[in-house]
A and B are shown apart, each in its own frame.
Chain A
């Protein structure tokens, strides 16, 4: 039940997209998000779709898997679509019935908004699917390094993120195990009203918290035993290097951005 969450999941592989420098991917993702919001016409969406399709193809991730990440927010997409179609005013009505005014502008706007959401999700999912959480936090640490000058604890933040991400699967597993154990003792998590369900969570949450604190304590001890000591002067086992593929990726993104801007201006 808990294993169905694909949002933010990593899909191990060795494709061109997987091998890109995570820093580059992160920066390009910011550019991509900007593009999603810059696009204004059908042609622009076409460019964006082509860009995403090529990236997805190169990542060798099955489309089915990529689309699955949209499922949890499908409701929001549909909601946005309906709201926009109903409440956008325009001059070219298609249907007028009582208080309902559906216009060409409304349809156009609704389609674009929904597409925007889908593109946003598909793109960001592609990033997390092809980049391990560790690589991502590594990249984030490098990119945020300038903030060190402002005495912002970049390394500590990155380390905390790494640890948090590292323990998500562990905690999910633990939740699953405790849930099963309490189910075996007759606990019922699925039926009853809201209050009963909230109460039913107690036998799950108490052991989970106790376990999380125990683990945190053990981890801190283990890190200290291995002389872990903060950020400065630490060397890295995996040094990030920008390769030629990263250059191509930047080029492709820049080209798409240019096309989208051109469409917007012309």
Chain B
């Protein structure tokens, strides 16, 4: 299900003194099975952008085409798009509402009009995907769970719809490191099933770890686009936009600045480890 965004512009409260341009002429495409990371400073238009991808808001101008369907066209049936593009909002645990975890996860699939057995299968599968012990939580109220568990229930609620494109807005915000790792691991597992993912994040580490390609937004405009290696190579530009590079990249660059033989464009911990071993480990010249 390819997604294509062309010259997308969105202005909130048009024609009023509160008018604010959230997006300006943004164009990009998402291939099938790709993992796109979207980064940008607060207020750069990330959230506005992803809400366009399943038709929750309509473009002021420009087009969004999902699987050949033009979402800016008023006659397009957006529900058809929404069942194939899943969106996990920021702090999704605040949308939980049902009496039991099971019912809450089943809300999406039931809205798709699936029969009872299929809904049940999907709920159980989604629970397994987010590593919630189904038997133990199925009849609990979602409001009794811990913060990390609530979030996993909320994500499971979207996964149970089995969307071909999954969009996540800051899925790890406000979680402790263990919770964060759990969420990232489940996103990775979902992606390994060959599904397309778009993830918005503040954390350069998270994006570096998972994304195939990164889109950088700055004040509603597309500032950079490329592989993590390409994007993180331009640390200066990212810092100008109030962003940063992953800690691994920062360390590598510092070392390189001080004359050590470490590549400047690495961005994962694994790469850093390898480079450090080469430079400082056995047979290395530096020590």
Q: Please determine whether A186 and B82 come into contact, CB atoms closer than 8 angstroms.
A: yes
Which one, B17, B87, B112, contacts A12 given CB within 8 A?
Answer: B17
A73 CB → nearest B CB, Å: 20
B89 at the interface (CB under 8 A from A): yes
B82 — which chain A residues lie within 8 A by C-beta? Answer: 183-184, 186
Which one, A3, A177, A182, contacts B13 given CB within 8 A?
Answer: A3
A185 at the interface (CB under 8 A from B): yes
A42 CB → nearest B CB, Å: 35
Tell me the complex Cα distance, A69–B74, Å. 28
Interface residues on B, range: 20 to 34
Tell me the complex Cα distance, A206–B93, Å. 12
Segment 179-207 of A: residues with Cβ below 8 Å from B? 180-188, 202-203, 206-207
Q: Please determine whether B108 and A180 come into contact, CB atoms closer than 8 angstroms.
A: no
B280 — which chain A residues lie within 8 A by C-beta? Answer: none
Tell me the complex Cα distance, A186–B158, Å. 10
Segment 1-31 of A: residues with Cβ below 8 Å from B? 3, 11-12
A203 — which chain B residues lie within 8 A by C-beta? Answer: 95, 97, 107
Tell me the complex Cα distance, A181–B88, Å. 8
Q: Please determine whether B94 and A178 come into contact, CB atoms closer than 8 angstroms.
A: yes
Tell me the complex Cα distance, A65–B16, Å. 8
Secondary structure class of chain A's binding surface, majority of residues: helix
A3 — which chain B residues lie within 8 A by C-beta? Answer: 13
A150 at the interface (CB under 8 A from B): no
A41 — which chain B residues lie within 8 A by C-beta? Answer: none
A184 — which chain B residues lie within 8 A by C-beta? Answer: 54, 56, 82, 86-87, 89, 158
B118 CB → nearest A CB, Å: 14
Binary A-proximity of B20-58 (CB < 8 A = 1, otherwise 0): 000000000000000000000000000000010010100
Tell me the complex Cα distance, A182–B111, Å. 10
B112 — which chain A residues lie within 8 A by C-beta? Answer: 186
> In the complex where A11-B17, A202-B97 touch, is A185 in contact with B56 (Cβ < 8 A)?
no
A211 at the interface (CB under 8 A from B): yes
Tell me the complex Cα distance, A206–B112, Å. 21
**B positions within 8 Å CB-CB of A:** 13, 16-17, 51, 54, 56, 79, 82-83, 86-87, 89, 92, 94-97, 107-108, 111-112, 143, 157-158, 161
